Amino acid sequence: MANNHLTSESKQLATWYLTFAAILFGAQLLFGLVAAIQYIVPGFLYGILDFSIARILHINALVVWMVFAMFGSVYWLLPDETGIETIGIKAGKLVYWIFVAAIVVVVLVYLFIQIGPASDATIWFITEGREYIEAPRWADLGIVVVALTFVANLFLTGIKGKQTGIVTVLMADMIAFAGLYLAGMFFTDNISVDQYWWWWVIHLWVEATWEVFVGAIAAYGLITMIGAHRKVVEMWLWIEVAMLFGSGILGLGHHYFWIGTPEYWWEIGALFSALEPLPLVAMFVHVLYDWGKTQGAQDANGDKNSVITNKPAFTWFVLNAFGNFLGAGIWGFFHTLPQVNLYTHGTQFTSAHGHLAFFGAYATILVGVMYLAVQGKNGIKVMKNTKTSIWAVSMISGGVMGMTVSLTIAGYVQVLVSRAQMGATWAGYFDGQNGLWFTQAMDWRLILGIVTFIGFLLLAKDLLTTGKDPVHER
């Protein structure tokens, strides 16, 4: 093995996944910046990289880097949790390269073939055209093979090794994660039916399986970083699973308000959307409770040192608790009930919610895992914050928060002008977008997007260099 601090091949594979995830994270931000510029200067790169393609790449890179980082996180924790090397690691490595190659080919095809006919060949080889999951069908099938191999590795290892609560939850969660992807792989003639299934992938991934995944990773992080009691953490994890699935699955109803599905979805959507923030509030308690109890126990023993063994990772994990609460909770809740969603649906409010929720709920914890991997790879006992790590986390979180506020202001203009005053008409759409508040908000979104990107560059630098920094305890 190249680095003797890595105790297993599974962890080595994890670092590959996490590294490629970080590269895609950068690509996501870069294409987001292009799209943000195009909002202000519509002719920017026209005919070279159209807005439609920049947006596809921005969003798909987001989804894919998170999936890569999630797979990497699982490969990282599996040997620690099960006590054995991951079974099928060679197959895992093979499908990693297949996955990477497929992503590169798909991106190149997006870049080189931006316009064309909507034929069966397009669906198979260029794009399926479904928002967020635009990958062509050949890549879809490849993703299924990759996901099944990953799930098989997880299951075989989980069954043979020690069966902790974290691994058990991950096994159940990842099979749902892989299975739900199938709902986005077929077309129906009726657009309402088509959208009905498509939301299974988008909503049930994000607001059910991904949130449970975050719960499991947070549990692992609290055990490894602050030495929280496993029984307490795992019991909490089960509560969280019950609450997240209990509210998240039928929270799906808030996507069924206006797509032609029966009216009872308004009531189901309203009820479960109102309940959805509860587990997010509870996650907040969880981190406070475990941190407070563990630090308190150490203080009582006369040891005033911090219980945290990886400060940068813990910073990102705490940011996750707040970010999830803010982005998914607050920014989700204030436009989710059908009475107000009638006005907010499809405005920049959705975009504001999307930016802060994806960042707060998922990006934060996955970056935290990257720091855990850096710590493990370099044999660091106590990892400390560096100036670069502090600047990176501040600029990225400040930038994303600023973008969210900007988009919220833009969305508010759309709600008032385009929807409430002008009744969602064609003229109203353009009047809203031409308003001074809207255009200024978009300018600020770009400026804060640049801040976020600079923060990312600092993050990349820190991840690449902090492992050798003598400031850490070894």
Partner 1 sequence: MLNPAIIRPEIALNDFLPIFVSSSLVLVFGGIYVGIYTAVKVKYLKPWVMVIAYAFWTLTSYCLYVMGSLMHVGSFTAKALVVAAIGLFLLPFAVYYMEDNVHKSNEHKT
Q: How far is CA 447 from the centre of its chain?
A: 23
- Please identify, using beta-carbon distances, which residue of 90 and 231 lies nearer to partner 1: 231
Residue 183 CA to residue 197 CA, distance in Å, equals 6
Of the candidate residues 175, 330, 390, 405, the single one contacting partner 1 (CB under 8 A): 330
Of the candidate residues 5, 137, 293, 384, the single one contacting partner 1 (CB under 8 A): 293
- Please identify, using beta-carbon distances, which residue of 95 and 222 lies nearer to partner 1: 222
- Please identify, using beta-carbon distances, which residue of 41 and 242 lies nearer to partner 1: 242
C-alpha triplet 99, 104, 110: angle, nearest 5°: 125
Residue 156 CA to residue 148 CA, distance in Å, equals 12
Evaluate whether 320 touches 365 at the Cβ level (below 8 Å): yes
CB under 8 Å to 82, separation ≥6 — which residues?
A: 157, 158, 160, 161, 162, 163, 164, 167
Rule CB under 8 A: which of 408-437 touch partner 1?
412, 415-416, 420-421
Contact call for residue 301 and partner 1 (CB under 8 A): no
Distances, alpha carbon 462 to alpha carbons 3, 20, 201, 361, 472, in Å:
19, 16, 34, 22, 13
CB of 238 to partner 1, least distance (A): 10
Distances, alpha carbon 325 to alpha carbons 86, 285, 290, 329, 352, in Å:
34, 11, 17, 5, 14
Evaluate whether 140 touches 132 at the Cβ level (below 8 Å): no
CB of 273 to partner 1, least distance (A): 9
Contact call for residue 116 and partner 1 (CB under 8 A): no
Across the strands, what pairs with 383? 310
Number of Cβ within 10 Å of residue 192's Cβ equals 11
CB of 464 to partner 1, least distance (A): 36
Contact call for residue 275 and partner 1 (CB under 8 A): yes
CB of 194 to partner 1, least distance (A): 24
CB of 255 to partner 1, least distance (A): 17
Rule CB under 8 A: which of 358-417 touch partner 1?
412, 415-416
The owner of tokens 């080919």 is: 105
CB of 446 to partner 1, least distance (A): 24
CB under 8 Å to 418, separation ≥6 — which residues?
A: 347, 424, 428, 429, 431, 432, 433
Question: Up-side HSE of residue 297: CA atoms within 13 Å toward CB?
Answer: 10
239-243, long-range: CB within 8 Å, 24+ apart, which pairs? 239/282, 240/212, 240/215, 240/279, 240/282, 240/283, 240/286, 241/169, 241/173, 241/212, 241/215, 243/278, 243/279, 243/282
Of the candidate residues 131, 267, 443, 473, the single one contacting partner 1 (CB under 8 A): 267
How many residues sit in the footprint of partner 1 (CB under 8 A)?
42
Q: Is the dihedral of CA 255, 256, 260, 266 positive or negative?
A: negative
CB of 422 to partner 1, least distance (A): 12
The owner of tokens 């670069």 is: 388
- Please identify, using beta-carbon distances, which residue of 65 and 314 lies nearer to partner 1: 314
Of the candidate residues 23, 183, 271, 457, the single one contacting partner 1 (CB under 8 A): 271
Of the candidate residues 47, 112, 263, 302, the single one contacting partner 1 (CB under 8 A): 263
Of the candidate spans 3-11, 74-82, 163-171, 332-340, the one that interacts with partner 1 by CB under 8 A turns out to be: 332-340
Which two structure tokens, joined as six digits, stand for 237?
Answer: 């994890």
Residue 106 CA to residue 3 CA, distance in Å, equals 32
CB of 263 to partner 1, least distance (A): 6
Contact call for residue 260 and partner 1 (CB under 8 A): no
Please report how the helices 137-160 and 51-82 are oriented relative to each other, as an axis angle in degrees rounded to 10.
10
Of the candidate residues 46, 97, 186, 334, the single one contacting partner 1 (CB under 8 A): 334
Of the candidate spans 59-67, 77-85, 148-156, 328-336, the one that interacts with partner 1 by CB under 8 A turns out to be: 328-336
Of the candidate spans 107-115, 127-135, 268-276, 301-309, the one that interacts with partner 1 by CB under 8 A turns out to be: 268-276
Of the candidate residues 139, 270, 400, 410, the single one contacting partner 1 (CB under 8 A): 270
Rule CB under 8 A: which of 213-242 touch partner 1?
229, 231-232, 235-236, 239
Contact call for residue 5 and partner 1 (CB under 8 A): no
b/e code 458-473 from CB counts within 10 Å (16+ = b):
bbbebbeebbeeeebe
Of the candidate residues 150, 266, 314, 359, the single one contacting partner 1 (CB under 8 A): 266
Give the total residue count for the chain.
Answer: 474
Residues that bind partner 1 (CB under 8 A): 229, 231-232, 235-236, 239, 263, 266-267, 270-271, 274-275, 277-278, 281-282, 284-286, 288-289, 292-293, 296, 325, 329-330, 333-335, 337-340, 342-343, 412, 415-416, 420-421
